[in-house]
Amino acid sequence: LLELLMSRRSIRHFANEQIDRKTLGKIVASARYAPTMNRRIRAIIVDDPEILGEFDRYERSFYGMWYRLFFKNRAIRAFERIFNDDIDVIKRKMEHSLGGVDFLYGAPALIILVGDTRTILTAESAQYHLASMVLYAHSLGLGACLMDSAKIALRTSRALRRRLGIRKGMRVYGAIVVGHPEERVLNLIEGMSLDYCWNSCAEENP
């Protein structure tokens, strides 16, 4: 399992090749073993290139607007660093996509998790479902990437929600793209170090 965890990376270049529906169904089914507080979380699997194209078009105009607002406005630029140390990373990611790369990285499938807003801990549960799917896809030799950008697109675009039949009272909790990877992970990175302490962290934060 550790080897699987170590070799997984977010994949952002996909081959122009479909994934068969049976495999996509199996990836979604892998989430049934995830820890969850909401057993009614549903997945919408989008493999229609037309709809995937609509995501790209919407995200291009949506994130283009935010890019211009944040990064072309001198007054706002002065405050950016107060809000987020990672602002340069976000800026580079936006420029990468706005420069012409498909917002879904050319993936043949997008899996979106939706749930009803009344069940507690749905947002937290959905993250475990997504993690299971990403890892299972990787175990099949496929590539995946979490896509908060697609989640935000769905939360802000009524047209996209309507297109996918997402009714009022249903909330989008996350999304991943899946496809045949066109990039290879050559190095097993050490990963992010998760600091820990024994019994109390009080001394670290006097």
Interaction site with ligand FMN (CB under 6 A): 9-10, 12, 145-149
d(CA 22, CA 172): 24
Q: Which is nearer to ligand FMN, 38 or 59 (CB)?
A: 59
> CB 37 → ligand FMN: shortest distance, Å?
18
Which lies closer to ligand FMN via its Cβ, residue 20 or residue 148? 148
User: Is-contact 44 116, C-beta < 8 A?
Assistant: no
Q: What whole-number distance in Å separates Cα of residue 1 and Cα of residue 131?
A: 14
CA angle 100, 101, 107 (to 5 degrees): 145
Shortest spacing between CB 177 and ligand FMN, in angstroms: 9
Q: How far is the CB of 9 from ligand FMN (least distance, A)?
A: 4
| Greatest alpha-carbon span in the chain | 55
Beta bridge partners of 116: 170
- Residue 147 CB, shortest distance to ligand FMN, in Å, is 5
Instruction: Name the helix (H) or strand (E) containing 89.
Output: helix 87-98
Nearest distance in Å: CB 6, ligand FMN: 10
The SS3 of residue 95 is helix
How far from 169 is each of 3, 15, 90, 119, CA to CA, in Å? 40, 36, 30, 11
CB of 92 or CB of 167, closer to ligand FMN:
92
Cβ-based nearer residue to ligand FMN, 21 or 96:
96
Residue whose CB is less far from ligand FMN, 110 or 145: 145
Distance in Å, CB of 138 to ligand FMN, minimum: 10
The residue (of 86 and 204) whose beta carbon lies closer to ligand FMN is 86
Rounded to 10 degrees, what is the CA torsion of 171, 148, 103, 56? 10
